[in-house]
Chain A
Amino acid sequence: MFLKLETRETGSDVGLSTLACFLLGVVITTLSAALIIAVIVSDKAAPELASLAMQNLNTSGVENPVTAVLLNFRSYDTLLEIAVLLIVAVAVLPDQCFAGKTSLPAKRFLSRNVKHQVNPVLAGLLKWLVPLALLVGGYLLWIGAYAPGGAFQAGAVIAGAGVALSLAGQHDFTWQTTSVRITLSLGLLVFIVVAAINNLITGTTLQYPVSYAGLFILIIEVAATISIAAILLLLFVCLKAIAEPAREGDTQ
């Protein structure tokens, strides 16, 4: 249904009059020009945080400074980021979850839809593409400790494999089982458990001891990758499932 982008009332894709558009264009052009001039004339101050991060890199447990900032120096950001993802996933989850069903169906997460016929070229491509995406995801997770990469990049690539499967239409995903829900919240749960264990050891919530920092970051990253992949896939599959019957209704 989103192929139809104009609004029903006006039939136009712009909600303003020509004069208002012109004035808005002038204002925004002026604003952008002012910002560009500000960027050109500003002299960049000495990067105080950069040198702080670099000096403390050997206490962080990883060699990649971005991963060190994400999961050690500013790990609150990452904890809350995973919480934000989980909240959105709960919002987008299909309604059947809350329809008063006390017993959840014991279906597998990924089930094959035998009735759906797929182009053999597409099926052959998927056979290569999906394992390759999983492999690349694992590599990105591992390399995150030394070079650009990490949990979110890995999760996005693995979710991409699931999106490809979903678009081909040969597989159905089930989001109603308990194990899937545990998978969705695994990242946040493990993060909180690690923080709690750390609190028992050191007395501070997210300041890891130097000797355990690498291990803690690895555990969190693996759990976060699984959750991020599952949540991104859920967002795509569920939004597609809501949009599809509506679009079919439009064409009738």
Chain B
Amino acid sequence: MTQDLLYSITGIVLFGIGLFGVIAAAHIIRKLIALNTMGIGVFMVLLAAARHGVVTDPVPHAMVLTGIVVAVAGTALCLWLALQLQLLDSPVPEEPP
């Protein structure tokens, strides 16, 4: 019971840290890391909620596994968009006349 509670509380604290980062951070990569921290917090709460004494509920576990894959894919897409943004943003090198 105490172990489940520790997992839940850590997950919520991670979620809070991530939420702060998403709103407060200026750089897009920091925002992205914070968003992932939020996601991991949610996964931890879900995993802790899956434990019921001796029986472990497999449904939240499967949801978390799917969630991790989608989070990885979303992070990769965000990184790609951030790179494209930076490439657009960077000054074009002047061509010699």
**A39 and B45 in contact (CB under 8 A), knowing A14-B24, A28-B16?**
yes
27 contacts between A and B (CB under 8 A): A1-B86, A5-B30, A7-B27, A16-B23, A25-B20, A29-B16, A31-B16, A32-B12, A39-B12, A50-B52, A50-B55, A50-B56, A51-B55, A66-B62, A69-B61, A81-B70, A84-B69, A88-B74, A92-B80, A150-B65, A152-B65, A235-B72, A238-B80, A239-B76, A239-B80, A246-B86, A246-B87
Question: Secondary structure at chain B's binding surface: helix, strand, loop or mixed?
Answer: helix
A35→B12 contact, CB < 8 A: yes
The yes or no answer to A78 lying at the interface (CB within 8 A) is: yes
The 7 closest A-B pairs by CB, nearest first: A15-B26, A50-B57, A65-B58, A32-B16, A69-B62, A235-B76, A88-B73
Q: How many residues of A contact B (CB 8 A)?
A: 56
B residues near A29, Cβ cutoff 8 Å? 16
Which B residues are within 8 Å of any A CB, using their own CB? Answer: 5, 8-9, 12-13, 15-16, 19-20, 23-27, 29-30, 45, 49-50, 52, 55-59, 61-63, 65-66, 68-70, 72-74, 76-77, 79-80, 83-84, 86-87, 90
- Interface digits, A117-144 against B, CB 8 Å rule (1 contact, 0 not)? 0000000000000000000000000000
Max count, chain A CB within 10 A of own CB: residue among B59, B74, B86, B87? B59
